[in-house]
Amino acid sequence: MSLTPASDIVGKKPGRGLSGLLLVAIPVFLVCWMVIWPILSAIWRTVWIRNDGGTGSSFSLETYQFFFSDQYSLNNLYVTLWTTAVCAALLLLICIPIALYLRFSTGKLAAYVQGLAIFPMFVPSIILSYALIRVLGPNGTVDLLLNAVSLPKIRSPYLTPWGPVIGLVWDNIPLTVLILVSGLGSVSNQSIEAARDVGAGRIATFWYIILPRISNSILVAISFTVLGLFSAFTLPYVLGPAAPEMMGPFMQRTFRDLNDPVMAITQAVIAFGFCIVFGLFYVRSVAKNRAP
């Protein structure tokens, strides 16, 4: 099939450029005003602080100095990093086997497993929080069942750092599975059969053939997790402990309850800083896949 080169340029007339720009103007303006400008403004406002007397402004890193010298803030940052690392590890541990199974299986059972793995995408995190409290919380269903077979109660993860971990892993399973399955789709059956043919076992095939091919997908999945966890609010707010708290609830409390927007955006900029590598990687891999 040959597509004439012309078909890409059909209807190209002077003046089209302007109408195109006009059609995209409003969404682009919104992105500039509500994404780019707030980020630049946040950085600007946290390094260019108004003097105490209100007489002028000067360059200062005092809000950052405060954050990194304040034990409470550091604990919050630490618990966020800890949650991120644990969630990323758990997600890969859970989702890679599921994705592998889905890639190499067909039939009703595989369809059922896939449906279940994707299902949490259709459960809003607020409902999930509530459900987990009912199941794992004090006097929850797990306690009921343990009690019924005369076992002692569990130490409930509710209101401990493990609460958000469970919720966030649950919530992130669908996207991680989808990303990994999509990545595994690029591993051809023949390349695996060829590896088995030259004598590679299951483990060796996975390690030397499959893993290198899906490393990019794994990185995308990790990027997603990192970006998602640094901005997670609902699950840690509802399921997590009051202190230390994750960055999401911390920012929210600083902004609304402590009424300190400058400190809140300082925390936001610090969160940006920790995610910048993952954000850029994500944008790059999406851009590579998608040309306008």
Partner 1 sequence: MAVLDIKDVSKVFSTTVAVDRFNLTVGDGELVCLLGPSGSGKSTLLRMVGGFETPSAGVVAIDGEDVTRVPPEKRPTGMVFQSHALWTHMNVFKNLAFGLKLRRLPADEIKRRVDAVLELVGLGGFGHRATNQLSGGQQQRVALARSLVLEPKILLLDEPFASLDQHLRERLREEVRDIQQRLGITTLFVTHGQDEALSMADRIVVMRDGKIEQVAPPDFLYRQPQTPFVASFIGTMNLIEGVVSGGQFSRPGLKLPLPIADGPATVAVRPEALAIVKSGEPDSARIHRITDYGAHAIVDLELPDGFRLKATVPDAREWSGVQAATLAPRAFAAYRENVVAYRS
Partner 2 sequence: MARLLVEKRTDWVGIGFAAVLSIIIVFPLLVVFTWSVTNVWRYPSVIPQEFGLRFWQATLARADVWSSITMSLTLATVVTLLSALICLPAAYAFARLDFPGRSILFFSFLAGHAFPKFGLLVAIAAIFLQLNLIGTFWGVVLIQLVGTLLFMIWIPVAAFQSVDRRMEEAARDVGASPARVFWSITLPQAGPTIAAAVLLSFVGTFYETEGAWLIGAPQIRTMPVLMISFINNQPVIQYGAVLSVLLWIPSFVALLFARRVISSGSFARGFGA
Instruction: Point out which span in 41-49, 62-70, 191-199, 202-210 binds partner 2 (CB under 8 A).
Output: 41-49
198 makes contact with partner 1 (CB under 8 A): no
Phi, psi angles (nearest 5°) of residue 49: -95, 140
Residues numbered 8 to 67 that lie near partner 1 (CB under 8 A) are 9-10
Assigned token pair, 60: 């200062």
**Residues 132-171: x where in contact with partner 2 by CB under 8 A, - otherwise, as a string:** xxxx---x-x-xxx-xx---------------------x-
Phi, psi angles (nearest 5°) of residue 44: -60, -45
Selection from partner 1, partner 2, none that 4 binds (CB < 5 to 8 A by kind) is partner 1
Assigned token pair, 267: 């925390």
Q: Which residue in the set 224, 225, 240, 245 belongs to the binding site for partner 2 (CB under 8 A)? A: 224
Instruction: Point out which span in 47-55, 69-77, 194-202, 221-229 binds partner 2 (CB under 8 A).
Output: 221-229
Cβ-based nearer residue to partner 2, 136 or 161: 136
35 makes contact with partner 2 (CB under 8 A): yes
Q: Which residue in the set 165, 175, 192, 210 belongs to the binding site for partner 2 (CB under 8 A)? A: 175
The burial class, CB within 10 Å (0-12 / 13-18 / 19+), for 150 is: exposed
Q: Which residue in the set 1, 24, 149, 291 belongs to the binding site for partner 1 (CB under 8 A)? A: 1
Spatial contact of 175 and 125, defined as CB atoms under 8 Å apart: no
Residues numbered 72 to 91 that lie near partner 2 (CB under 8 A) are none
Instruction: Point out which span in 3-11, 75-83, 181-189, 283-291 binds partner 1 (CB under 8 A).
Output: 3-11
Query: What's the angle, vertex CA 119, arms to CA 113 and CA 125, rounded to 5?
Result: 145
Inter-CA distances, 83 with 77, 136, 178, 225, 254, Å: 10, 19, 22, 10, 20
Inter-CA distances, 189 with 82, 97, 110, 114, 183, Å: 38, 17, 18, 20, 13
Cβ-based nearer residue to partner 2, 12 or 198: 12
The residue ranges that bind partner 1 (CB under 8 A) are 1-2, 4-6, 9-10
